[in-house]
């Protein structure tokens, strides 16, 4: 796992798409259209500037005609030269092709799922390609996996960033995006680009896909993967949340409130869309590490690698309805016994400890809701929402455990500690009359 990452910068050719997508599809599409495009769009400022650059770089006369300009362009294409005016003109032609549906970008099968998962987990995505920004936007607008332009927060080419094998280009990109290179990773299939990015302080991953030109290349000390399926990226915010969740889980495990692999904790990472970091399923909560967390969406479904607790859906519902920044679910015995005694809700009053759950005075009563247990998290969420009161930050699931929430894990813990004491007191001092006010 590559942890503590804020940004993923991606090459395109050989990394996101097969090389043939460029050489056999895009080049073949642009080549016969270059001449007509130059004549039909001679009045376009972008085309006029590109033609002037071709004349200058190609050693042509300032008034050289379309035929001469075209010969230079075709020569660059034959040599696969990454020359800015050629990329500009190709990008304009490809933009039209994508808009009309004549062109569709083919991603490697592992690419779109990985991009969406990284984006959903909170990572920023950007592109650095020799193809123009215009071409990038067009290519991503119509792919075999739909329009993915919304996943990216930045696009860079050799015009607005610089040569891909020059370390200064990566420094420029980091500055433009406001990111620390040490918390950014560049993925490319070209070893020289890996070296340039590393020299600028970036973390790097060589992408050596079978059948691609650089599949057997030496990427030096950089990690190398054959597909994105081998790559697990954890955002810096998720790593920080993971550390906090692991520490809190260890506290509860030590108290015996998370026995075996039971219980789960979550923190809210973002609200638009709703994203939570939830402790991983099936693990001893006293032994969690910072990476044993899963990102889930508003339905409790994983949007990052791993398996979250089946109860993640209820965490998400509580976060959405109560506005919680953190939710803790433990299997302390007192709440379960209290729900058994008072199945319609546990009423607490007259105790100083009530101030620990947000009450201003000891005689301000609290009734902790109790709902029936079940395996359907949607049904449990509906039951929680029906009985929800904004001034009661807790829910007991009968014969199961208690959920408590707060602005953060610390506040949730303090509230849980107070409630657990209050519930133990209620049980210890109650009579057979379940309606007795405490």
**In 3D, which of 359, 363, 369, 429 has the Cα closest to residue 404?**
369
The pLDDT value recorded for residue 270 is: 86
The pLDDT value recorded for residue 5 is: 86
- Mean local confidence (pLDDT), 304-320: 88
Read off the pLDDT of residues 277-301 as tens digits, 9 standing for 90 and up: 999 988 999 999 988 888 889 999 8
Classify residue 96 as exposed, middle or buried by CB count within 10 Å of its CB (0-12, 13-18, 19+): middle
SS3 content of the chain, % helix, strand, coil (to 5): 45, 20, 40
- Mean local confidence (pLDDT), 340-362: 89
Angstrom distance (rounded) from CA 244 to CA 410: 10
CA distances from 367 to 25, 220, 330, 333, 384 (A): 67, 63, 19, 18, 14
pLDDT at 119 over 80: yes
- Name the strand (E) or helix (H) holding 7: strand 7-10
pLDDT at 438 over 50: no
Q: Tell me if 190 sits within 8 A of 11, measured CB to CB.
A: yes
Angstrom distance (rounded) from CA 413 to CA 104: 52
- Mean local confidence (pLDDT), 401-408: 96
Q: Tell me if 414 sits within 8 A of 356, measured CB to CB.
A: yes
The pLDDT value recorded for residue 3 is: 63
pLDDT at 434 over 70: no
- Name the strand (E) or helix (H) holding 187: strand 184-188
For 152-306, where are the alpha helices, taking DSSP H only?
Answer: 167-177, 191-199, 236-254
Q: Could you tell me the pTM of the whole model?
A: 0.65
Q: For residue 436, what pLDDT band results from cuts at 50, 70 and 90?
A: very low
CA distances from 348 to 195, 354, 374, 391, 416 (A): 65, 8, 26, 13, 14
pLDDT at 332 over 80: yes
The pLDDT value recorded for residue 2 is: 57
Angstrom distance (rounded) from CA 345 to CA 340: 10
Angstrom distance (rounded) from CA 164 to CA 15: 14
The pLDDT value recorded for residue 437 is: 44
The pLDDT value recorded for residue 406 is: 96
- Mean local confidence (pLDDT), 396-415: 96
The tokens 């904790």 sit on which residue?
A: 265
Angstrom distance (rounded) from CA 21 to CA 27: 9
Question: DSSP 3-state assignment of 99?
Answer: helix
**In 3D, which of 207, 222, 24 has the Cα closest to residue 108?**
207
The pLDDT value recorded for residue 234 is: 73
């Amino acid at each position: 796992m590559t942890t503590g990452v804020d940004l993923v910068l991606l090459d395109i050719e050989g990394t996101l798409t097969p090389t043939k997508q460029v050489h056999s599809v895009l080049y073949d599409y642009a080549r016969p259209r270059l001449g007509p495009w130059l004549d039909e769009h001679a009045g376009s400022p972008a085309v006029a500037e590109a033609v002037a650059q071709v004349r200058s770089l190609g050693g042509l006369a300032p008034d050289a005609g379309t035929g001469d300009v075209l010969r230079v362009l075709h020569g660059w294409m034959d040599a696969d030269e990454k020359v800015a005016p050629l990329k500009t003109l190709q990008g304009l032609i490809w933009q039209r092709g994508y808009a009309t549906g004549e062109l569709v970008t083919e991603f490697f099968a592992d690419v779109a799922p990985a991009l969406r998962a990284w984006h959903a987990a909170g990572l920023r995505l950007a592109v650095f390609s020799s193809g123009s920004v215009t071409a990038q936007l067009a290519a991503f607008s119509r792919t075999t996996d739909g329009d993915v332009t919304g996943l990216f927060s930045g696009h860079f080419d050799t015009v607005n960033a610089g040569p891909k094998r020059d370390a200064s280009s990566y420094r420029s990109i980091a500055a433009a995006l406001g990111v620390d290179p040490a918390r950014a990773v560049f993925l490319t299939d070209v070893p020289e680009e890996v070296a340039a990015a590393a020299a600028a302080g970036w973390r790097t991953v060589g992408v050596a896909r079978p059948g691609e030109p650089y599949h057997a290349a030496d990427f030096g000390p950089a990690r190398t993967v054959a597909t994105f399926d081998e790559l697990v990226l954890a955002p810096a915010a998720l790593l920080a949340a993971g550390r906090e969740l692991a520490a809190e889980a260890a506290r509860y495990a030590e108290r015996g409130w998370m026995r075996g692999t039971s219980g789960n904790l979550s923190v809210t990472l973002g609200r638009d869309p709703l994203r939570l970091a939830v402790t991983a399923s099936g693990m001893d909560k006293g032994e969690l590490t910072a990476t044993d967390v899963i990102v889930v969406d508003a339905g409790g479904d994983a949007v990052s690698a791993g398996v979250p607790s089946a109860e993640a859906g209820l965490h998400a519902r509580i976060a959405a309805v109560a506005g919680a920044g953190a939710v803790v679910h433990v299997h302390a015995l007192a709440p379960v016994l209290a729900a058994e005694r008072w199945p319609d809700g546990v009423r607490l009053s007259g105790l100083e400890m009530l101030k620990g759950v947000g009450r201003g005075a000891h005689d301000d009563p609290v009734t902790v809701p109790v709902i029936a247990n079940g395996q359907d998290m949607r049904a449990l969420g509906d039951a929680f929402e029906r009985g929800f009161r904004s001034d009661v930050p807790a829910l007991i699931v009968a014969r199961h455990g208690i959920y408590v929430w707060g602005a953060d894990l610390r506040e949730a813990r303090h509230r849980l500690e107070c409630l657990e004491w209050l519930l133990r007191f209620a049980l210890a001092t109650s009579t057979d009359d379940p309606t007795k006010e405490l």
